[in-house]
Structure 1
């Protein structure tokens, strides 16, 4: 997250800026526009599908963001408890990691990208992350999938 927020990821735009030949500079996920950090994580139709699904799962109002600083401010402005905001920040970090991982799978291994697969990976990794950090007991997978538990 910190490298992405500083625009220090090896996107096609960043590599071309460093005079590295990457061929076509289009986004690896959607092939529609140049692959920049902000496009890859927030403008790409694949990323938008991921954010829509995660927003629906977490029962948060849809927010429109265009950069990493926007997403952090959007979380701060939500009328939720600090605990729920912390959980949402963790889910966002995991989602960004999964989007980046999916992009690399497409670029280096030629694998097809599936929004449903990315979201299911986010849910399961976020569940493991939350269970390892939560000190007040465990949460059932079913409650996690419904994003409904008494801590929030």
Structure 2
């Protein structure tokens, strides 16, 4: 929902309840009138309602309205709210057709994920927001990992402590130099530092200066003019971060020590496998 709010969208912009016979729509709680639940528009009347989960068909009849108040509206505020209620729903006439949902963003009212995705993609991102490049060669689980790592949401010791998990010592299990978060595991840890220099040397690219995952992603997704070579580099960098994470987990759960030479060999192997099996007319040059 955060992504939707950034795009200037609300739930009612995506899905709209179209009321017909009123049998499947709550009178007070559903946002069927003016895009907001009546209980929020008219709280004074909602407090007087006996059956707060009543349906529209139980309140709006073909020949008028049927109310069930705890006590009749009496104060000036309640009477004024009742007048507003009549003005809001006065034109609604029940029909024999069932209520249904529609998507205002699509031309025919049908809900399509593609429509929402296009709306989000066309939204101008915040200046500090990093857009993750999603390319076919990289498995979805790896792309998802990079996306979560960039937001600091992989289960590092610091992230687990924030979620209330009892971690007695949050120091990095690989170097013990500082507390372990996503940036440390993939960027600052000496294990990672010993991997990035040879990786960029293998790619024949001068190692850029980066302090965060976001800075590294921004570099690789704008590097060079050839799209295929850029995608190769993205595969290699994402593959390196994926192997660094797997190495960390094997060290924690299997007490396995892995040298940076082994990590680099694993990166080359996994990236070659991705491109070899997931790209048509594969080329690593």
TM-score tier (shorter): 0.7 to 0.9
TM-aligned CA deviation for residue 80 of structure 1: 4.2
Shift of 1:15: 0.9
- Match of 2:194, SS? helix
1:72 aligned partner: 217
In structure 2, the residue matched to 1:118 is 263
Rounded Cα–Cα distance in structure 1 between residues aligned with 2:154 and 2:186: 11
Q: Which residue of 2 aligns with 1:108?
A: 253
Of residues 40, 52, 60 in structure 1, which corresponds to 2:197?
52
Deviation for aligned residue 1:73 = 1.4
Shift of 1:38: 0.7
Q: Runs of 4+ in structure 1 displaced over 2 angstroms?
A: 76-80, 133-137
Per-residue deviation, 1:31:
1.3
CA distance in 1, matches of 2:222, 2:237: 15
Cα deviation 1:29-86 (Å, max 9, x = unaligned): 2111110111110111110111111111111111121222101211244334111111
Which of 181, 188, 191 is matched with 1:36 structurally? Answer: 181
Structure 1 gaps of 5+ residues are: none
Name the SS of the counterpart of 1:41 in structure 2.
helix
Cα-Cα RMSD: 1.5
1:86 matched to 2:231: yes
Unaligned runs of 5+ in 2: 1-145
Is residue 29–residue 113 contact of structure 1 (8 Å, CA) maintained in 2?
no
Worse overlay, 15-24 or 92-101: 15-24
User: Alignment length, in residue pairs?
Assistant: 140
Q: Give me the whole-angstrom Cα distance separating, in 2, the residues matched to 1:68 and 1:13.
A: 16
Distance 1:8 1:32 in 2: 21
Per-residue deviation, residues 71-103 of structure 1 (Å, max 9, x unmatched): 121124433411111111111111111111000
- In 1, Cα distance between the equivalents of 2:252 and 2:167? 11
Q: Which structure is higher in RCO with an 8 Å CA cutoff and minimum separation 6?
A: 1
- For the pair shown, the structure with the greater C-alpha radius of gyration is 2
Task: Tell me the TM-score normalized by structure 1.
Answer: 0.85
CA contact (8 A) 1:26 1:33 kept: yes
Is 2:272 the partner of 1:134? no
Distance 2:175 2:240 in 1: 17
**Structure-1 separation of matches of 2:152 and 2:255:** 25
Mapped contact 2:224–2:230 kept (Cα < 8 A): no
**1:62 equivalenced with 2:207 (yes/no):** yes
